[in-house]
Amino acid sequence: MIKGENVAKYFNLEPILQERGLDGVRLDIGAGKFPVDAAQFITVDLHTSADIMAPMWSIPLPDNSVDYIYCSHALEHTPKSQVSPTLREFYRLLKPHSIMRIIVPDLTWVCHWWLEHQDTGWAMDLIYGNQTHDGEFHRTGFNVPILYKYIEDSGSWTFRSVFLDRGDVTYKEAEGFELSLEGGRKEATPRIAAHVVGRQIVIDAEKNGEE
């Protein structure tokens, strides 16, 4: 998982957020017991004590009221039928040109790992969750093309970056994406190499403004 100070290993969005004045409401959705930064983020969770106790697909905040959404290793805990409503809810909450970061396990890597390490411990937990309470069950899964399509269908987004953290290769960019990390905005070309395998997928997407 990427929680707490470990998030610093990924591309730092803070300069972009500050440049745009996006220093208001920040949500850590599905924060669990280890919120990313309790001082800067409002935590949202249904199963663990949080600032807002609500399901991810129905968060009681106004439209266009959030500057940044961080959702790490939480989306796979939603039922498959609620993934699209959840991402549409994120889109509703974000202000135009605000950013969300989604981090999920890469199901392709998980399946390969299970085939090579068949046991009832961590290898099994990667597939089904540790199941210590109702919020710790994995109810769906993603690879890069699947997550990209879910996000693309949930609203008008610009994909700023796609990372595949394979452990041995940090900041692995998904093949076929044109990324603009430091400045300017580029549309991501949706030619995704499904064979690229990572331990976890990190996608940063910016909500487009009205035309």
Closest CA to 95 of 69, 62, 64: 64
Q: Is 118 helix (H, G, I), strand (E, B) or coil?
A: coil
- The reported pLDDT for the residue numbered 15 is 81
Residue 43: burial class (beta carbons within 10 Å; 0-12, 13-18, 19+): buried
The C-alpha atoms of residue 169 and residue 146 are separated, in whole angstroms, by: 22
Write out residues in the chain with pLDDT < 70, as ranges. 1-11, 163-198, 210-211
Pick the CATH number of 4-207 from 3.40.50.150, 3.40.1260.10, 3.40.50.720, 3.40.50.620: 3.40.50.150
Query: How many CA atoms, within 13 angstroms, populate the side-chain half-sphere of residue 139?
Result: 13
Q: What's the Rg (C-alpha) of the chain? A: 16
- Other Cβ atoms less than 10 A from the Cβ of 131: the count is 12
Question: Which pLDDT score is estimated for 174?
Answer: 40
Convert 138-206 into a string of H (helix), E (strand) and C (coil).
CCCCECHHHHHHHHHHHCCEEEEEEEEECCCCCCEECCCCCCCCCCCCCCCCCCCCCCCCCCEEEEEEE
Provide the pairing of β-strand 200-207 with 94-105: antiparallel
User: Residue 165: its pLDDT value, please?
Assistant: 64
**Hey, where are the domains in the chain?**
4-207
pLDDT on residue 101 = 92
Per-residue model confidence (pLDDT) at position 77: 97
Question: Quick one: which H or E segment has residue 89?
Answer: helix 80-93
The string of pLDDT tens digits covering residues 33-55 is 889 888 889 999 999 999 999 99
